[in-house]
Amino acid sequence: MSRIGNNPIPVPSGVTVSIENNILTVKGKLGELTQSYEHVEITFEDNELRVSRPSDSKIHRTMHGLYRSLVNNMVEGVSEGFEKQLELVGVGYRASNQGQKLELALGFSHNIVLDIAPEVKVETVSEKGKNPIVKLVSHDKQLVGQVAAKIRSFRKPEPYKGKGVKFVGEQLRRKAGKSA
């Protein structure tokens, strides 16, 4: 029995939900998200969304918790939004943005210029004596995570000095260097 799937999803005020032809649409102050679904039933009553499954077959059990999590992320995203912060650790590593273009200097012979999706707001913070930070904010949890993973993939943190692009608060596994 899915413990996550059985929990109701509270819908805050200011968020509207519509369900038509197995497509769920959630609108809020930060945007609008849609999700198609199958193998489960989604009902909306008394400002709560409930996800239920028709039987205990394996496909229905697996989709039950999945769609409940996806719908919960949609409701949370359009009402509060999601934020990811990346930290650039290394000498000479810089980040700057002009609108939706993010320019990264990560120790390569050239700067990396990345066009960010319009749904994701990007902001760079550079303070003297601190590592540059890239902030990504969006109402779509999957999209903001994908953009953050793409930026991190340009220069992952290495285990000896910890240089690279890492998430703020991420614990790195460090290795000891050569012993003399």
In this structure, what DSSP letter does residue 93 have? -
> How far apart are alpha carbons 156 and 154 in whole angstroms?
6
Residues 106/112/115/116 CA torsion (nearest 10 deg):
-10
Query: What is the pTM (predicted TM-score) of this model?
Result: 0.89
Q: Which amino acid is at 79?
A: S
The dihedral through the CA atoms of 28, 37, 46, 18 has a sign that is positive
Q: Which CATH number fits domain 9-79: 3.90.180.10, 3.90.930.12, 3.30.1360.200, 3.30.70.120?
A: 3.90.930.12
Fold exhibited by the domain 82-167: Outer Surface Protein A; domain 3 (3.90.930)
Per residue of the chain (180 residues), give pLDDT as tens.
558 889 999 999 999 999 999 999 999 999 999 999 999 999 999 999 999 999 999 999 999 999 999 999 999 999 999 999 999 999 999 999 999 999 999 999 999 999 999 999 999 999 999 999 999 999 999 999 999 999 999 999 999 999 999 999 999 999 998 886
List the chain domain ranges. 9-79, 82-167
Are domains 9-79 and 82-167 of this chain identical in fold? Answer: yes
Are the C-beta atoms of residues 140 and 33 closer than 8 Å to each other? yes
